[in-house]
A and B are shown apart, each in its own frame.
Chain A
Amino acid sequence: MHKLLIDNPGQKMLLLGNEAITRGAVEAGVAFATTYPGTPSSEISLNLFKISQESDLYFEYSTNEKVAFEVAAAAANSGVRSMSIMKHVGLNVAADALMTLAYVGVRGGFVVITADDPFMFSSQNEQDNRYYGKLSGLPVIEPSSVKEAKEMMAYAFDLSEELKEPVLFRTTTRINHSTATVELGSMKKRISKGSYTKDPFNCVTVPAVSRKLHVKLLKNMEKAETLSESSAYNFTSGKGENGIICNGVSYVYVSDALKDLNLENKVKVLRIGFSNPMPKNLIKNFLKDCKKALIVEEGEPYMEEAVKAYAQEAGLTLSIRGKGEDLFSRLYEFDPAMVRKCIAKYFGAVYTPPAVTDLSDVPELPQRPPNLCAGCSHRATFYAVKKAAEGMETIYPTDIGCYTLGFLPPLSMGDFLICMGSSVGTSCGFSKVTDKKVISFIGDSTFFHSGIPGLVNAVFNNHNFTLVILDNDITAMTGHQPNPGVDMGNFNLSGYGRVNIEDVVKAVGVSHVTVIKPYRIKKSIEAVKEALNFKGVSVIISKEMCTLYSKSLKKPMGKPFYISDKCKNHRVCVNELACPAFFIKDNRVTIDSVLCAGCAVCAQICPENAILPIRDKK
Chain B
Amino acid sequence: MKTTRLIIVAVGGQGNLLASRILGEASLLSEIPVRMSEIHGMAQRGGVVESAIVFGDAESTIISDGEADVLVGFEPSETLRALNKCNPDTTVITSLSPLPPFTVAIGKGVYPELGALQGLIRAKTKKLIAFDATALAKEAGNVLSVNMVLLGALLQTGILPLSAENVKESIKTRTGKFAESNIKAFELGFSAAKLS
Contacts across chains A and B counted by CB atoms under 8 Å: 181
Q: Which of B71-112 contact A (CB under 8 A)?
A: 77-78, 80-81, 83-84, 86-88, 100-112
Once A174-B61, A356-B65 are accepted as A-B contacts, the answer to whether A179 and B37 lie under 8 Å apart by CB is: yes
Report the separation of the CA atoms of residues A583 and B104 in the bound assembly, to the nearest whole angstrom: 8
* Interface pair B42/A180, CB less than 8 Å apart: no
Once A178-B35, A580-B102, A584-B105 are accepted as A-B contacts, the answer to whether A366 and B110 lie under 8 Å apart by CB is: yes
Interface string of A401-432 (1 = CB under 8 A from B): 01001000110000000000000000000000
* Interface pair B87/A354, CB less than 8 Å apart: yes
* Interface pair A366/B48, CB less than 8 Å apart: no
The reply to whether the CB of B133 lies closer than 8 angstroms to some CB of chain A is no
Report the separation of the CA atoms of residues A39 and B43 in the bound assembly, to the nearest whole angstrom: 11
The reply to whether the CB of B58 lies closer than 8 angstroms to some CB of chain A is yes
Once A179-B24, A181-B33, A368-B78 are accepted as A-B contacts, the answer to whether A252 and B41 lie under 8 Å apart by CB is: no
Once A179-B24, A362-B83, A405-B45 are accepted as A-B contacts, the answer to whether A174 and B37 lie under 8 Å apart by CB is: yes
* Interface pair A371/B36, CB less than 8 Å apart: no
* Interface pair A121/B105, CB less than 8 Å apart: no
Report the separation of the CA atoms of residues A363 and B20 in the bound assembly, to the nearest whole angstrom: 29
Q: B64, B78, B105, B120: which has the most chain A beta carbons within 10 Å?
A: B105
Report the separation of the CA atoms of residues A121 and B49 in the bound assembly, to the nearest whole angstrom: 12
Tell me which of B33, B61, B77, B103 contacts A369 (CB under 8 A): B103
Report the separation of the CA atoms of residues A519 and B21 in the bound assembly, to the nearest whole angstrom: 37
Please, which residues of chain B bring their CB within 8 A of the CB of A367?
Answer: 101, 103, 108-109
Stretch at the interface among A53-61, A103-111, A335-343: A335-343
* Interface pair B103/A366, CB less than 8 Å apart: yes
Q: Which of A196-253 contact B (CB under 8 A)?
A: 249, 252-253
* Interface pair A477/B110, CB less than 8 Å apart: no
Report the separation of the CA atoms of residues A357 and B81 in the bound assembly, to the nearest whole angstrom: 13
* Interface pair B66/A356, CB less than 8 Å apart: yes
**A359 CB to nearest chain B CB (Å):** 6
* Interface pair B87/A355, CB less than 8 Å apart: yes
Tell me which of B37, B65, B88, B105 contacts A178 (CB under 8 A): B37
* Interface pair A337/B41, CB less than 8 Å apart: no
Report the separation of the CA atoms of residues A405 and B66 in the bound assembly, to the nearest whole angstrom: 31
Please, which residues of chain A bring their CB within 8 A of the CB of B87?
Answer: 354-355, 357
* Interface pair A252/B61, CB less than 8 Å apart: yes
* Interface pair A366/B101, CB less than 8 Å apart: yes
Report the separation of the CA atoms of residues A373 and B36 in the bound assembly, to the nearest whole angstrom: 27
Interface of A is mostly: loop
Once A336-B67, A365-B80 are accepted as A-B contacts, the answer to whether A252 and B60 lie under 8 Å apart by CB is: yes
Q: Which of A366-381 contact B (CB under 8 A)?
A: 366-373
Residues of B in contact with A, size category: 35 or more
* Interface pair B84/A364, CB less than 8 Å apart: no
Report the separation of the CA atoms of residues A320 and B137 in the bound assembly, to the nearest whole angstrom: 56
* Interface pair B42/A477, CB less than 8 Å apart: yes
The reply to whether the CB of A276 lies closer than 8 angstroms to some CB of chain B is no
Report the separation of the CA atoms of residues A181 and B120 in the bound assembly, to the nearest whole angstrom: 37
**B52 CB to nearest chain A CB (Å):** 9
The reply to whether the CB of A5 lies closer than 8 angstroms to some CB of chain B is no
The reply to whether the CB of A383 lies closer than 8 angstroms to some CB of chain B is no
* Interface pair A355/B66, CB less than 8 Å apart: yes
Please, which residues of chain B bring their CB within 8 A of the CB of A373?
Answer: 45-46
* Interface pair B44/A370, CB less than 8 Å apart: yes
Report the separation of the CA atoms of residues A138 and B41 in the bound assembly, to the nearest whole angstrom: 29
**A408 CB to nearest chain B CB (Å):** 10
The reply to whether the CB of B114 lies closer than 8 angstroms to some CB of chain A is no
The reply to whether the CB of A145 lies closer than 8 angstroms to some CB of chain B is yes
Once A336-B62, A355-B66 are accepted as A-B contacts, the answer to whether A362 and B42 lie under 8 Å apart by CB is: no
* Interface pair B104/A584, CB less than 8 Å apart: yes
The reply to whether the CB of A361 lies closer than 8 angstroms to some CB of chain B is yes
The reply to whether the CB of B139 lies closer than 8 angstroms to some CB of chain A is no
Tell me which of A252, A365, A574 contacts B112 (CB under 8 A): A365
Q: Which B-chain residue is minimally distant from A255 (CB atoms)?
A: B59
* Interface pair A354/B106, CB less than 8 Å apart: no
* Interface pair B43/A180, CB less than 8 Å apart: no
* Interface pair A122/B105, CB less than 8 Å apart: no
* Interface pair A121/B60, CB less than 8 Å apart: no
* Interface pair A357/B46, CB less than 8 Å apart: no
**B101 CB to nearest chain A CB (Å):** 4
The reply to whether the CB of B187 lies closer than 8 angstroms to some CB of chain A is no
Please, which residues of chain B bring their CB within 8 A of the CB of A12?
Answer: 28
**B28 CB to nearest chain A CB (Å):** 5
Please, which residues of chain A bring their CB within 8 A of the CB of B120?
Answer: 361-362
Residues of A in contact with B, size category: 35 or more
* Interface pair A14/B106, CB less than 8 Å apart: no
Report the separation of the CA atoms of residues A330 and B38 in the bound assembly, to the nearest whole angstrom: 22
**B48 CB to nearest chain A CB (Å):** 6
Please, which residues of chain B bring their CB within 8 A of the CB of A478?
Answer: 41
Q: Which B-chain residue is minimally distant from A361 (CB atoms)?
A: B120
Please, which residues of chain A bring their CB within 8 A of the CB of B84?
Answer: 357, 359
The reply to whether the CB of B11 lies closer than 8 angstroms to some CB of chain A is yes
The reply to whether the CB of A582 lies closer than 8 angstroms to some CB of chain B is yes
The reply to whether the CB of A575 lies closer than 8 angstroms to some CB of chain B is yes
Please, which residues of chain A bring their CB within 8 A of the CB of B81?
Answer: 365
The reply to whether the CB of A545 lies closer than 8 angstroms to some CB of chain B is no
* Interface pair B61/A39, CB less than 8 Å apart: no
Please, which residues of chain B bring their CB within 8 A of the CB of A410?
Answer: 106
Please, which residues of chain B bring their CB within 8 A of the CB of A512?
Answer: none
* Interface pair A578/B106, CB less than 8 Å apart: yes
**A582 CB to nearest chain B CB (Å):** 5
Interface string of B22-34 (1 = CB under 8 A from A): 0011011000011
**A174 CB to nearest chain B CB (Å):** 6
The reply to whether the CB of A485 lies closer than 8 angstroms to some CB of chain B is no
Once A256-B58, A368-B103 are accepted as A-B contacts, the answer to whether A337 and B78 lie under 8 Å apart by CB is: no
Tell me which of A358, A362, A477, A578 contacts B41 (CB under 8 A): A477
Q: Which B-chain residue is minimally distant from A121 (CB atoms)?
A: B39
* Interface pair A580/B59, CB less than 8 Å apart: no
Please, which residues of chain A bring their CB within 8 A of the CB of B77?
Answer: 365-366, 368
**B76 CB to nearest chain A CB (Å):** 10
Please, which residues of chain A bring their CB within 8 A of the CB of B61?
Answer: 146, 174, 178-180, 249, 252
Tell me which of B63, B105, B116 contacts A582 (CB under 8 A): B105
**B93 CB to nearest chain A CB (Å):** 17
Please, which residues of chain B bring their CB within 8 A of the CB of A583?
Answer: 100, 104-105
Please, which residues of chain B bring their CB within 8 A of the CB of A145?
Answer: 59
**B181 CB to nearest chain A CB (Å):** 17
The reply to whether the CB of A40 lies closer than 8 angstroms to some CB of chain B is yes
Q: Which of A540-586 contact B (CB under 8 A)?
A: 574-575, 578-580, 582-584
Q: A336, A359, A579, A582: which has the most chain B beta carbons within 10 Å?
A: A336
Please, which residues of chain A bring their CB within 8 A of the CB of B105?
Answer: 574, 578, 582-584, 589
What are 12 sample pairs from A and B whose C-beta atoms fall under 8 A apart? A40-B41, A121-B43, A174-B37, A178-B35, A252-B61, A356-B65, A357-B66, A368-B77, A370-B45, A405-B45, A582-B105, A583-B100
Q: 6 other contacts beyond A40-B41, A177-B37, A370-B47, with CB at 8 A cut-off?
A: A13-B28, A146-B61, A179-B21, A336-B67, A354-B67, A368-B46
Residues of B whose CB lies within 8 Å of any CB of A are 11-12, 20-21, 24-25, 27-28, 33-48, 58-67, 77-78, 80-81, 83-84, 86-88, 100-112, 116, 120, 124-125, 143
